[in-house]
């Protein structure tokens, strides 16, 4: 498909990241297939996660088609950009349409980005997962690439005023080894495997993160931070 909108948006985002002074550490890019369909199943801790993870996938020469809520597509400014980049509209009142659109994209060889938690985790821990990523993998016979991001919540997240000042925040993104879910296998077991992998990757990233978590609003209670307690 023609890529008219995505390239200039990438240039704009890279300029924005430079303005913010973000310090990127990307690992595991080799796990992203250079061709063919795949699902990126990601944790969700901030409003910029999709753009940051999309940036991390660029060294693999892949453009990610993110599944995003309908409200973003309805926005007068963001909507045309989302459609121009061929992202996938998720209408929670008509989930089957977005599922079919994602299946079509995967079968045509695209990488589809999904936040299986469904919404931002206010505790910054991995919440319970919805079944969409595993069911899509089974229906399209493509791998699921678990991915975690850490640091984006320090810029803009739910319940906290956004801070777009330049302050050299470290942003870590890591991609895990592909997971394969055969058609007809147990969906709940697949969700459990995916969640355990996301948790393990998140803990690895947090352990290597250069800034202290103790006493920070952007850090989970488990690490001595003051974020809200997990709800599950």
Rounded Cα distance between 27 and 25, Å, is 7
Confidence of residue 89 (pLDDT cuts 50, 70, 90): very high
Q: Express each pLDDT in 52-66 by its tens digit.
A: 999 999 999 999 999
Read off the pLDDT of each residue in 182-198 and give the average, rounded to a whole number: 96
DSSP code string of 141-210: T--EEEEEEESGGGTSBTTB----S----EEEEEE---B---TTS-HHHHHHHHHHHHHHHHHHHHHH-S
What value does the mean pLDDT of the chain take? Answer: 96
How is residue 117 written in tokens? Answer: 């938690």
How is residue 122 written in tokens? Answer: 């206010």
Question: Can you give the pLDDT at residue 95?
Answer: 75
Residue 132 reports pLDDT greater than 80: yes
Shortest CA distance to 136 belongs to which of 200, 40, 56?
40
Q: Give Cα 185 distance to the centre of its chain.
A: 25
Q: Taking the complete model, does pTM exceed 0.85, yes or no?
A: yes
Q: What is the CA radius of gyration of the chain?
A: 17
Residue 11 reports pLDDT greater than 70: yes
- Percent of the chain residues past pLDDT 70, beyond the cut: 99
Shortest CA distance to 211 belongs to which of 173, 168, 182, 176?
168
Cα 121-124-130 angle, rounded to 5 deg: 40
Question: Can you give the pLDDT at residue 232?
Answer: 61
For 93, residues 6+ apart whose C-beta sits below 8 A from its C-beta are: none
* Cα torsion angle, 103, 109, 110, 114, sign: positive
Read off the pLDDT of each residue in 103-121 and give the average, rounded to a whole number: 97
How is residue 192 written in tokens? Answer: 């459990």
Question: Can you give the pLDDT at residue 38?
Answer: 98
Domain ranges of the chain: 6-223
DSSP state of 72: H
Q: Are 67 and 88 in contact, with CB atoms under 8 Å apart? A: yes
Shortest CA distance to 130 belongs to which of 5, 11, 41?
41
| Count of Cβ atoms closer than 10 Å to residue 150 Cβ | 26
Q: What are residue 74's DSSP bridge partners?
A: none
Residue 203 reports pLDDT greater than 90: yes
Please tell me the class of the 6-223 domain.
Answer: alpha beta
């Amino acid at each position: 498909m023609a890529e008219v909108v995505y390239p200039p948006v990438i240039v704009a985002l890279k300029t924005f990241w430079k303005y913010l002074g973000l310090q990127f550490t990307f690992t595991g890019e080799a796990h992203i297939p250079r061709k063919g369909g795949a699902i990126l199943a990601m944790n969700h801790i901030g409003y910029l996660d999709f753009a940051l993870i999309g940036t991390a996938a660029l060294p693999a020469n892949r453009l990610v088609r993110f599944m995003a809520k309908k409200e973003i597509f309805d926005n007068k400014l963001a909507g045309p950009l989302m459609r121009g980049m061929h992202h996938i509209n998720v209408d929670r009142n008509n989930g089957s349409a977005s599922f079919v659109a994602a299946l079509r994209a995967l079968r045509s060889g695209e990488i589809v980005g999904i936040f299986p938690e469904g919404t931002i985790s206010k505790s910054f821990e991995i919440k319970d997962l919805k079944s969409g990523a595993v069911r899509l993998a089974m229906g399209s016979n493509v791998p699921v690439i678990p991915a975690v991001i850490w640091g984006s919540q320090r810029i803009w997240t739910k319940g906290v005023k956004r801070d777009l000042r330049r302050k050299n925040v470290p942003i870590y993104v890591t991609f895990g080894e592909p997971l394969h879910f055969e058609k007809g296998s147990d969906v709940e077991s697949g969700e459990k495997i995916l969640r355990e992998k996301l948790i393990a990757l998140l803990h690895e990233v947090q352990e290597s993160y250069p800034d202290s978590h103790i006493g920070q609003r952007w850090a989970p209670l488990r690490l001595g931070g003051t974020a809200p307690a997990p709800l599950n």
